[in-house]
Amino acid sequence: LAKTTQPISMDSYEGQEVNITCSHNNIATNDYITWYQQFPSQGPRFIIQGYKTKVTNEVASLFIPADRKSSTLSLPRVSLSDTAVYYCLVGPGSGAGSYQLTFGKGTKLSVIP
Amino acid sequence: EPEVTQTPSHQVTQMGQEVILRCVPISNHLYFYWYRQILGQKVEFLVSFYNNEISEKSEIFDDQFSVERPDGSNFTLKIRSTKLEDSAMYFCASTPVYNEQFFGPGTRLTVL
């Protein structure tokens, strides 16, 4: 499994754009990059998944450079409710069926009023 | 929107007792999982279940643990003889064919 490295914590003011970068130097050709969000005392929640270039949904954008050795989760105009831990995961993508998710320590994002 | 549910939300038990944690995955999902998270630590994979049998299990999932899908809706995790170190949040997750896993709210297990 490809190892991921992301900052332990980040602070941001409300209304700002937040970019969280994840390194995954040993990503395999068939691996996807997936981000989950976890609030205290809740289960992780899927945010976004991508393979290359850029993916955008109603919550976030995911930027993946051509070499795919890193990725950046972008949260536009964060609010206090975005305070959470954000996990970057690398592994088989859609259609892989049964696949265990391997979580790291994640990035604890604190949004300040 | 369909969601994974788990009961109870909090379970307190004495060391050595058996506990059963219950989950109702999203209907029409095919793959089911249990994860746990010890306070302040990472979310750890325990076991995956498909077609009424275990697909994968981690080193944590030893003989004290078992899973079952007793009917068409419930998915249970049993710990036969709880230890202090089993105290954690236990999350159930389910997924259709695709990789996005839908997690339940968790059961907080406290072993005294």
> Looking at residue A3, what is its pLDDT?
87
CB-side neighbour CA atoms (13 Å) of A40 = 6
Residue A41 with chain B: CB contacts under 8 Å: 89, 106, 108
Which CATH number do you get for residue A14?
A: 2.60.40.10
Contacting residues for A32 by C-beta, under 8 A, at least 6 apart: A49, A50, A51, A90, A91, A92, A93, A94, B99
How many beta-carbon pairs below 8 A join chains A and B? 68
User: Average pLDDT of B64-77?
Assistant: 93
User: Average pLDDT of A90-109?
Assistant: 81
Q: Which residue ranges form the domains of chain B, and what is each CATH number?
A: 5-111 (2.60.40.10)
Q: What is the pLDDT of residues A27-43, one digit of tens each?
A: 999 899 999 999 998 99
The number of folded domains in chain A is: 1
Would residue A1 count as lying in a domain? no
% of chain A exceeding 90 in pLDDT: 83
Q: Provide the shortest C-alpha distance from residue B16 to chain A (in Å).
A: 25
Hey, is the C-beta of B90 within 8 angstroms of any chain A C-beta?
A: no
A interface with B, Cβ–Cβ < 8 A, is: 32, 34, 38, 41-46, 49, 87, 91-106
The pLDDT of residue B89 is above 90:
yes
Closest CA to B100 of A71, A28, A48: A48
Q: What is the pLDDT of residues A36-71, one digit of tens each?
A: 999 998 999 999 999 999 999 999 999 999 999 999
Would residue A4 count as lying in a domain? no
Q: What is the pLDDT of residues B14-66, one digit of tens each?
A: 999 999 999 999 998 989 999 999 999 999 999 999 989 999 999 999 999 99
Residue B45 with chain A: CB contacts under 8 Å: 100-102
Q: Domain containing A45: what range? A: 9-112
Pick among B75, B97, B99 to test the A interface (most A CBs inside 10 A): B99
